[in-house]
Amino acid sequence: MNNIIQQNLSQIQHNIATYCQQANRQPNAVTLLAVSKTKPVQAILTAYQSGQHAFGENYVQEGVEKIQYCQQQGIKLEWHFIGPLQSNKTKLVAEHFDWIQTLSRNKIADRLNAQRPSHLPPLNVLIQINISDEQSKSGIQPNELMALAKHIEKLPHLRLRGIMAIPENTTDQTEQISVFNQMQTLFQQLQQQCPNQQIDTLSMGMSADMESAIKCGSTMVRIGTAIFGQR
């Protein structure tokens, strides 16, 4: 079990480096986020022992328990909240996580800003874009991005870092590339519109579409199954 996680991680790191090279990008241009939702904290510790530092969790309560356990062990990790967030759970995210990747509403932004403890650095924020325009998916429409970005920019306990998307599931590489290219264009527009922010994170690419995402400028891939196995 431990061995498998370590092997998977080094295989993925190798793949990331290969895809970066093919796209003429530096091998360290893409951060690997290990998505550990529903997996035991032991699996996280195993990944940590093979050098993995950034972890993504979808469920607030489960994530907070793992964060607290790791802190008690004296292990400092970087925690990303990547699930849908309801307003009654914002306080736990503000108090425990380092990043939220799924921000899509002014009201949630205001609550996170008010609830972020002042002894912590600002909460890093990605705005989620519903790039495939799916009814079932959360996130804002591309034409709503600048208004939300300008709102977040004014909140001192949040730090806008970029955008994320979960595109429609497809194995068609042409389709993947088309959607990821739209994300890259939006990302560049955001950088131009918010020159005083450190807009450096384009979070896209999962186990099945990582290669296309890296080709299109992803700076963070979110991988669960290919590291920890089926859920």
Ligand X SMILES: *Cc1c(COP(=O)(O)O)cnc(C)c1O
Interacting residues with ligand X (CB under 6 A): 35, 37, 58, 82, 166, 206-207, 222-226
- 22 vs 225, beta carbon nearer ligand X: 225
Please report how close the Cβ of residue 218 comes to ligand X at its closest, in angstroms.
12
CA distances from 196 to 106, 125, 144, 161, 190 (A): 20, 15, 20, 11, 11
Residue 173: name the closest of 162, 165, 163, 181 by CA: 181
Please report how close the Cβ of residue 58 comes to ligand X at its closest, in angstroms.
5
- 153 vs 175, beta carbon nearer ligand X: 175
Please report how close the Cβ of residue 100 comes to ligand X at its closest, in angstroms.
11
Determine the residue with CB nearest ligand X: 224
CA distances from 190 to 45, 114, 139, 145, 230 (A): 36, 24, 16, 8, 35
Structure tokens at 105: 């509403």
- 90 vs 128, beta carbon nearer ligand X: 128
Structure tokens at 86: 């309801």
Q: How far apart are CA 150 and CA 52, in angstroms?
A: 33
- 25 vs 39, beta carbon nearer ligand X: 39
Please report how close the Cβ of residue 112 comes to ligand X at its closest, in angstroms.
18
- 39 vs 116, beta carbon nearer ligand X: 39
Please report how close the Cβ of residue 83 comes to ligand X at its closest, in angstroms.
6
Half-sphere exposure of 27 (CA within 13 A, CB side): 6
Q: Specify whether the CB–CB gap between 133 and 142 falls below 8 A.
A: no
